[in-house]
Structure 1
Amino acid sequence: MAHTLLKNRRRTDYRFSLEYRTRWIDNDMYDHMNNSVYYFLFDSIVNSYLIQHCSLHPPTSDSIGLVVHSHCDYFAPVGFPAVVDLCLRVNKLGKSSVTYEIGVFEKGVEEVKAVGNFIHVFVEREGRRPAVEGMAENLKKGLGAIVVSEQAKL
């Protein structure tokens, strides 16, 4: 059932988007975007949001986000040349962790091509353990702005 819900995602189900133009090198021998490129794109939209809307400056921040889980459901291929909209939302915001959902949509096509999940645990740079007080307030506030309501979650 969750797979069907994900397949029905639309751009309006997300709170932030980023455009990406596919490159020739993104294709694999099967003439579609390679699976590893999707994960590169997930990382790109998440970190773009953190930098732009959560005041995160990775080289100097006291805390860093470690990826502890990632997953992708593929529904239809994307290839070169194409422009895709990467769409982001937060499905769960915890004390030190955040669960993101990323929808991949081809420009001009309503149906979602892929939906990924990505979990960060924010830890202190030194020691790599979650801070006692959890993630920094700027992260909580910025990520809270793209949390979906309980009704919209899977």
Structure 2
Amino acid sequence: MPATPSKKLRTRKDYPFQLEYRTRWSDNDMYGHLNNSIYAFLFDSIINTYLISHCDLDPTHENKSADTHNQIGLVVSSYCDYFASVGFPDLLDLGLKAVKLGSSSVTYEVGVFKRGEEAVKVVGGFTHVFVDRETMRPRSGSGMHDTIRKGLGKLFVADGSKL
């Protein structure tokens, strides 16, 4: 996905959910900045923190009661646009929003900010398709569980077309 000028203009206010990340020495690559693979880790961490705390997702246990869901999210695509580097010992602010919400899928955007600086350093994210844990298929006819949809609805920002 090509970088667009609008992504470079993102601010913390563009993201309804935020999480702090303290970089570690081992996050750096040999050039002294955050290794590319760490960004995928950051995106996965903020997204799953939100899903667990706001969407009743329990990725480690199967839900067996009738009033809970048994869905998990599978990553089907990802992207990352870099505008400036960060590295240890930076303190980062991560922001999360949903830019597209389908019947069984959601596309997230994550903004990475260095504490004390306003300019976004990285914008990236991925798309989850929610499937039944046992069949690994989307629920026929109903898509993602209502609890997940309700939680993700709080993250949805309608300007997703700017992605």
The two structures have a TM-score, normalised by structure 1, of 0.96
Match of 1:104 in 2: 112
Q: Which runs of 4+ in 1 moved over 6 A?
A: none
- Residues in 1 aligned to 2:149 and 2:3: alpha-carbon distance in whole angstroms: 27
1:118 and 2:118 correspond: no
Distance in 2 between residues matched to 1:148 and 1:64, nearest whole Å: 22
Mind listing any 5+ residue stretches in structure 1 that lack a counterpart?
Answer: none
SS of 2:44's equivalent?
A: helix
Match of 1:136 in 2: 145
CA deviation profile, 1:88-146 (whole Å, cap 9, x unmatched): 00000100000000000000000000000210000111121100111011100000001
- Displacement of 1:2 in angstroms is 5.2
SS of the residue 1:110 aligns to: coil
Scaled by the length of structure 2, what TM-score is found?
0.90
Moved more, 35-44 or 60-69: 60-69
Say what the alpha-carbon RMSD is for the aligned residues.
1.2
Distance in 2 (CA, whole Å) between partners of 1:18 and 1:69 is: 22
How many residues matched? 153
Q: Which runs of 5+ in 2 are unaligned?
A: 64-69
Give, in angstroms, the shift of residue 149 of structure 1: 2.0
Tell me, in whole angstroms, the C-alpha distance in 2 between the residues paired with 1:48 and 1:113.
21
**Distance in structure 2 (CA, Å) of the matches to 1:119 and 1:80:** 28
Shift of residue 3, structure 1, vs aligned partner: 1.6
Q: Once structures 1 and 2 are overlaid, which stretch shifts more, 110-119 or 59-68? A: 59-68
Deviations 1:4-35 (A, max 9, x none): 11011100111000000000000000100000
Shift of 1:58: 1.0
Residues of 2 paired with 1:2 and 1:106: CA distance? 19
Partner SS state of residue 131, structure 1: coil
1:37 partner letter: I
